[in-house]
Structure 1
Amino acid sequence: MSCLSEPTDPSSAPRILVVEDECFVRMVAVDMLEDAGLPVAEAPDADAALQLLEGKAQAFGALFTDIDMPGSMDGLTLAARVRARWPHIRLVVTSGRVRPRADDLPNAGFLPKPYGRSDLLGALGRAA
């Protein structure tokens, strides 16, 4: 597993998009999901995630995104945009610094950092 600065190509129809700017944290989340047998794509920020989703959103069933990220938008804004454009994608947001209110989440689950594999899988399984 390498830490890519560019998003991975979803040509193999990945199911979960992991969006995290911290390379090591992204690698760990991707490894947890892949070890559970789930297909995964990754993006280093919200802008790259939206590029990946454009025209290929049907290939994704879930989005797991950090809240605090550099770029033109944070993870909450990304989640809201994904909810509005692609309501079939289940959403889970995470943060080690921010505890969003339920009103701030666009029908998304919240998973505080640090989290373990069972926490991540459970949050994705409960996501609407």
Structure 2
Amino acid sequence: MSTAGLRRRTALIVESDRCRSDLAAMMMKEFDLEITQVADADDAIDHLCASPSGVDIALIEMSLDGSMDGLALARRISVLWPTMSVIVTSRTVCSGDAPALPSRTTFVRKPCRPLDIVAATANAARADHSLRSLRF
């Protein structure tokens, strides 16, 4: 069986803290994902626009520097790339109040255990967000 037409699944990590970004990348690589790391929403949008084969999963920190925060980025992704799975993380959300997230978005509260990111990634990797699964 030829694997020439198969593409490796990809993930985009949007995190301004390089140590946290590297840790998330290390955990997500367990799923044989090709990882790209960026520090802000503007770089994330640039990367997504320049990715001809698309990105499958985005892991986004809520508190980002730059023109938009992680919630605004997640909302933009849900409109422009509706088949992408999105995981949003935050420590600044008030206790018990998860933000109003777009559909197909998972929220993970910080501080989180590495297993929380692994579980969210596993769920996102299994999700079928193809256009055929969207309901309008």
TM-aligned CA deviation for residue 58 of structure 1? 3.5
Q: Which runs of 5+ in 1 are unaligned?
A: 1-11
- 2:75 maps to which residue? 80
> Please, what TM-score do these two structures have when normalized by structure 1?
0.79
1:120 to 100, 117, 121: 117
CA contact (8 A) 2:28 2:121 kept: no
Give me the whole-angstrom Cα distance separating, in 2, the residues matched to 1:117 and 1:125.
12
Q: State how 1:85-104 maps to structure 2 within 5 Å.
A: 85-99=80-94, 101=98, 104=100
Amino acid paired to 2:39: P
Q: Which secondary structure state, in structure 2, belongs to the residue aligned with residue 111 of structure 1?
A: strand
Q: Which secondary structure state, in structure 2, belongs to the residue aligned with residue 120 of structure 1?
A: helix
Q: Which structure 1 residue ranges, 4+ long, deviate > 4 Å from structure 2?
A: none
Q: Which runs of 5+ in 2 are unaligned?
A: 1-6, 128-136
Amino acid paired to 2:101: L
Give me the whole-angstrom Cα distance separating, in 2, the residues matched to 1:28 and 1:77.
24
Distance 1:43 1:14, change over 3 A: farther
1:54 to 25, 49, 52: 49
- 2:102 maps to which residue? 106
Give me the whole-angstrom Cα distance separating, in 2, the residues matched to 1:18 and 1:79.
12
Amino acid paired to 2:117: L
Larger Rg: 2
CA contact (8 A) 2:15 2:21 kept: yes
Q: How many matched pairs?
A: 116
Root-mean-square deviation (Å): 2.1
- 2:36 maps to which residue? 41
- 1:32 maps to which residue? 27
Q: Which secondary structure state, in structure 1, belongs to the residue aligned with residue 88 of structure 2?
A: strand
CA contact (8 A) 2:90 2:109 kept: yes
Deviation sequence 1:58-98 (CA, Å, 0-9, x none): 33111110000110000000000010001010011001122
TM-aligned CA deviation for residue 118 of structure 1? 2.4
TM-aligned CA deviation for residue 126 of structure 1? 3.1
